[in-house]
Amino acid sequence: MKRIVVLVSGGGTNLQALIDAQKSGIIKNGEITLVISSKEGAYALERAEKNGIATKVLPRKDYPDSAGYSKAILEALNEEKADLVVLAGFMTILDECIVKAYPYKMINVHPALIPSFCGEGYYGLKVHEAALSYGVKVSGATVHFVNEQADAGAIILQKAVAVENGDTPEILQKRIMEQAEWKILPEAVSLYCQDKIKIVDGKAVVDR
């Protein structure tokens, strides 16, 4: 069984999708052993507690810089003996000490089709605001490995979702969560835990 640590900052609907997938047996050969939140009082923490999953709060605001914060997260991951780290709505950029310690062992869900509407400054509703302001007719979600640059690691899974007339950022966010994120994130975690993702020439080759 691979030990999965999930990093969260907010509502935790993607964490909930992972918990539901774990309960229904969709995640094979993996178990969420710890949820770490960068914010006190995040609803994601309640979701974990309700399901008997250990939690830890490491508030970003308690650390003066990203390096110090990343070191604290790294210590927690090492202590937990994490095999896989999942960023599920984690709104803090971690520095490269973590990426170096967990190469191709850390994945992120992003609410757009990378390489569109991604990188520094594109997170949460801002991503959907940008997609609507550009006028794209299709958006979606991407699960990818985390590397040294924001949203630039090897892509594992993507799913497209239609943009509809009259969409607001909130409506589009909800549709992308329901139709894409909550499906491809648990699937990617399960594939990872079953060793069905290989890296070839820096790209992820997935045996679905």
- Separation of CA 138 from chain center: 21
Three-state secondary-structure class, residue 186: helix
Query: Which position among 2, 5, 10, 197 is part of the footprint of ligand GAR (CB under 6 A)?
Result: 10
Q: Which strands make up the sheet holding 30-37, listed edge to edge?
A: 54-57, 30-37, 2-8, 84-87, 106-110, 138-145, 155-162
- Asked if 83 touches ligand GAR (CB under 6 A), the answer is no
Q: Is 153 in the site for ligand GAR (CB under 6 A)?
A: no
Confirm or reject binding of residue 89 to ligand GAR (CB under 6 A): yes
State both tokens at 128.
């959907």
DSSP state letter for 181: I
Q: Which of 32, 99, 113, 177 binds ligand GAR (CB under 6 A)?
A: 177
Binding mask 92-131 for ligand GAR (x = CB under 6 A): -----------------xxx-----------xx--x----
Q: What is the separation, in whole angstroms, between the first and last Cα of the chain?
A: 19
What DSSP line would sit under 111-133, residue for residue?
Answer: SS-TTSS-STT--THHHHHHHHH
Q: What is the distance between the alpha carbons of residues 175 and 170, in angstroms, rounded to a whole number?
A: 9
Give 127 or 197: the residue with its C-beta nearer to ligand GAR: 127
Whether 110 sits among the annotated catalytic residues: the reply is yes
Nearer to ligand GAR, 146 or 193 (CB): 146
Task: Among 4, 5, 12, 21, indicate the residue that binds ligand GAR (CB under 6 A).
Answer: 12
Give bridge partners of residue 161 from the DSSP assignment.
139
- Which residue lies nearer to ligand GAR by CB, 89 or 186? 89
Enumerate the β-bridge partners of residue 203: 200
Closer CB to ligand GAR, 76 or 124, in the complex: 124
In the complex, least distance from residue 125 CB atom to ligand GAR, rounded to whole angstroms:
8
Taking CB under 6 A as the criterion, the residue among 11, 59, 179, 196 binding ligand GAR is: 11
Q: Which of 110, 144, 175, 183 is catalytic?
A: 110
Q: Any contact of residue 181 with ligand GAR (CB under 6 A)?
A: yes
Question: Which class for 24: exposed (0-12), middle (13-18), buried (19 or more C-beta within 10 A)?
Answer: exposed
Indicate which residues carry an active-site annotation: 110
Contact footprint for ligand GAR (CB under 6 A): 10-14, 88-89, 109-111, 123-124, 127, 177, 181
